[in-house]
Amino acid sequence: MDSLMPDSVFENVDEGSETTSGMDENFTGYLPSAYFADNDFQRDGTHQIVEASGVDAWKQWCQKCLVTQKGASPYYPENFGIDLQAAFDKPDRSYTENILSREIKEALEADPYHRLSSVTSVQFAWNRGNALQVSLQLTGIDGSSISVSTTVGRNTYV
């Protein structure tokens, strides 16, 4: 039976070990990954999982990082995500934006593959209630530019 995952996702995997062969733990750069959107792996017409380019994989990592409460999941390192709870517990929106700006920058700089060169812009737009649209412009280590946008709020970290 054919594998559901693209072959290139597993080309460096040594099934006899827990780490990928030929990968330096200090690797810097973009790696392809399975394409993930709408809370599921994306599939092509033959039900194969679609491969995301290295830059798309980085963008997906950034989006996931923005909506993950730091330290809340046993599946992620302690420094993955942002402290949404601390930001949204503040009584004033300007305090929330200030905390989120700092938290976002620190979280994205903690990328284990060191793909971020700079955070070009951070914009906030308050929606109804306490929902906050966060829009970022990021520059990668190779000069590639990505736009990341997501909504965070009091209920996203619960």
Q: Three-state SS string across the chain, please?
A: CCCCCCHHHHCCECCCCCCECCCCCCCCCCCCEECEECCEECECCCCCECEECHHHHHHHHHHHHHCCECCCCCCCCCCCCECHHHHHCCCCHHHHHHHHHHHHHHHHHCCCCCCEEEEEEEEEEECCCCCEEEEEEEEECCCCEEEEEEEECCCCCC
> What is the domain extent for residue 71?
7-16+29-152
Residue 62 or 37, more confident: 62
Q: What is the mean pLDDT of residues 26-32?
A: 74
Has residue 47 been placed in a domain?
A: yes
So what's the pLDDT on residue 36? 78
More confident residue, 129 or 62: 62
In a domain, residue 12? The reply is yes
Q: What is the mean pLDDT of the chain?
A: 83
Report if residue 111 sits inside a domain.
yes
| 105-124 pLDDT tens trace | 999 999 999 999 999 999 99
What does the pLDDT read at residue 21?
A: 44
Stretch 69-93: mean pLDDT: 91
